[in-house]
A and B are shown apart, each in its own frame.
Chain A
Amino acid sequence: MLNDVTFGQYYPAKSFVHNMDPRAKILFVIAYIVAVFLADNFFGLAAVTVFLLLGVFFSRVPFGRVLRSVKMILFLIIFTAILNLFFYSSGAELHILWQWKFITISWEAIINMVFLAMRLFLLVMGTSVLTLTTTPVALTDGIESLLTPLKWIRFPVHELALIMSIALRFIPTLMDETNRIISAQKARGADFETGGLIRRAKAMIPVLVPLLVSAFRRAEDLGDAMDARCYSGAKGRTKYKKLTFTWRDLVGLLLSAALITGIVFLNLYFGGKFAVFDWIAGNFFVG
């Protein structure tokens, strides 16, 4: 099952996390995301970090590989962090550190910035452990299975899952096609490399139009092919692949429950993120 990767960042390996049921992994990641947002203080984030490190460890994905996924949104993290640093304000009184005209930097702003950056960082790292250890196909199967209850309100779960898997299946095909069209247009003298942003964007039009036309043609062919293979919607249809829930998944779900409860307790016990002041004051500056 290692050669079914079509795209995405799947990291093939045999590990505890890889072998988990995609549904359990998705549920775990949802719990993890909730935990990241629920955590109100640094102790909570530390607990989440411990879970992240455990997840990475048991997935056998090199830590650097997971870290690489953060690179893409590094700019976003830095940007929001800086904005938060300079423009933080709250109703309460701030411990001002430095002030110049309308820009103020306070201890609260610094703490808030670090907190926010950590949250974003943990969020991206956690979700990329999911996509690194689960193939897109397995993810689709998992989502379909998890959404099954929605069939009761006539939500087209099967259709949605089929659309997702066909989209996944056509990504490499359309990528090849795009490259072919680009080569064909280059051969006719099209220029994609020079000029400003707008010019380059305009140069893509002769690529996108044929791509769109061919995508429609393919869709029509595919529709015929599906009809010819007796496709008639979800009714009377069976499923070959069955997801199986194992002890690994039970462990995962129990852990996610533990994570959420842990975070709630840490919140109640230590209070908000600025409670650090009191904590430091209480421990180091007694008297």
Chain B
Amino acid sequence: MEAVRFENAIFSYNDDGRDPAVNGVTLSIGKGEFVAILGRNGSGKSTLAKLINALLLPTEGKVYTCGMDTSDEKLSFEIRKRAGMVFQNPDNQTVASIVEDDVAFGPENIGLAREEIGRRIDFALGAVGMREFRHATPSRLSGGQKQRIAIAGVLAILPEIMILDESTAMLDPRGRREVMEVIKKLNREQKMTVILITHFMDEALQADRAIVMHRGEAVMDGAPEEIFARSDELEMYNLTLPRAAYICKKLQSAGMPVRNSFTAEELAEAICASLHRG
């Protein structure tokens, strides 16, 4: 089954259609997939994300989310119920001064009964490991915790697709790890489709599939390992390799016979193996 389908989608922030931010993207994302969308600043990756939940409507072409045409405004509510979105700045997406009230915001909007909202808050906070902060004040939490609350706020609507628009960009390494753990768990255990927009290559490695955006076009699409193996091409799009992959490549070019590896663990094993052989 298909979660999202772009059909030659074009979007421009200018009225006359100059300099489209998304320029003729055609791709489809399956249900339950974990997709990372990569690209440098201004490559159109955030615009692409906003086309999925009808925050932006394509100027040309079509975007279908869970089979629904996003350009039909009558469907936006249903689309947003199914495709939840977590944004970059945790401070700018919290509506209430108490955690549970903030998580309740989405369920209240879709008109659920009180008891059901209570259950959803419980579930959502449990899923992000923040149950004991139910009555806390978001402004006193750490960045990672705030972002987990934001994820809980989206989860409480029980969406089929979770879009994370650079949601880890403002976090410290620890907060980033916390959020990534939560996302991976959701994908694995709830079978949720995850679309992760990021410029951290290490995060992309944890996805099933990576799409590289450049000047509004989807220029690379494949398994992360496959994409990172094409390092020259990546460089053309101003993207760098994950740290371990970079070291690995340097070692190879210096004449050390290590096999392609992308994470620190893989690299360590590859180096050991090559040392044993040598």
Which chain A residues have a beta carbon within 8 Å of chain B's beta carbons?
1, 3-6, 136-137, 162, 165-166, 168-169, 172-173, 218, 221-222, 224-232, 236-242
Contacts and interface: CB of A to CB of B under 8 A. Distances in A.
A6 B92 contact: no
B268 interface: no
A239 B106 CA distance: 11
Interface of B: 50, 53, 55, 77, 80-81, 84-85, 87, 89, 91-98, 100-101, 104-114, 117-118, 121, 135-140, 153-154, 157
Contact of A238 (B77, B80, B92, B113): B113
**Of A1, A162, A225, A239, which is in contact with the most chain B CB atoms at under 10 Å from its CB?**
A225
Given A4-B137, A136-B97, A240 B117 contact: yes
Given A232-B109, A239-B108, A227 B114 contact: no
Contacts of B77: 230, 232
13 contacts: A137-B97, A165-B97, A169-B94, A169-B139, A221-B92, A222-B93, A228-B84, A230-B80, A237-B108, A237-B109, A238-B111, A240-B101, A242-B114
Given A225-B87, A228-B85, A231-B109, A6 B136 contact: no
A272 to B, nearest CB: 46
**Of A230, A232, A238, which is in contact with the most chain B CB atoms at under 10 Å from its CB?**
A230
Contacts of A241: 101, 104
Contact of A6 (B101, B112, B137, B154): B137
A88 B113 CA distance: 61
Given A4-B98, A225-B92, 15 more contacts: A1-B135, A165-B96, A169-B138, A172-B139, A221-B92, A225-B95, A228-B87, A229-B105, A229-B153, A230-B80, A230-B157, A238-B108, A240-B100, A240-B101, A240-B107
A169 B92 contact: no
A5 B135 CA distance: 10
A57 to B, nearest CB: 28
B101 A137 contact: yes
B135 A229 contact: no
A162 B77 CA distance: 20
Contact of A169 (B87, B96, B104): B96
B97 A230 contact: no
Nearest to A228: B85
Question: What 8 pairs across the A-B complex have the smallest Cβ distances?
Answer: A225-B93, A221-B92, A240-B104, A228-B85, A229-B106, A230-B109, A172-B139, A240-B117
Nearest to B83: A228
A4 B100 CA distance: 11
Nearest to A136: B97
A6 to B, nearest CB: 5
Nearest to B100: A240
Nearest to B103: A240
B35 to A, nearest CB: 18
Given A6-B139, A238-B113, A166 B95 contact: yes
Contacts of A224: 50, 55, 87
B45 to A, nearest CB: 16
Contacts of A136: 97
Contact of B97 (A4, A162, A232, A239): A4
B81 A230 contact: yes
Contacts of B107: 238, 240
Contact of B55 (A218, A227, A240): A227
A214 B109 CA distance: 27
Nearest to A162: B95
B137 A221 contact: no
Contacts of A173: 91, 139
A222 B95 contact: yes
Contacts of A242: 114
A225 B84 CA distance: 10
Contacts of B111: 236-238
A3 B135 CA distance: 7
Contacts of B157: 229-230
A103 B240 CA distance: 84
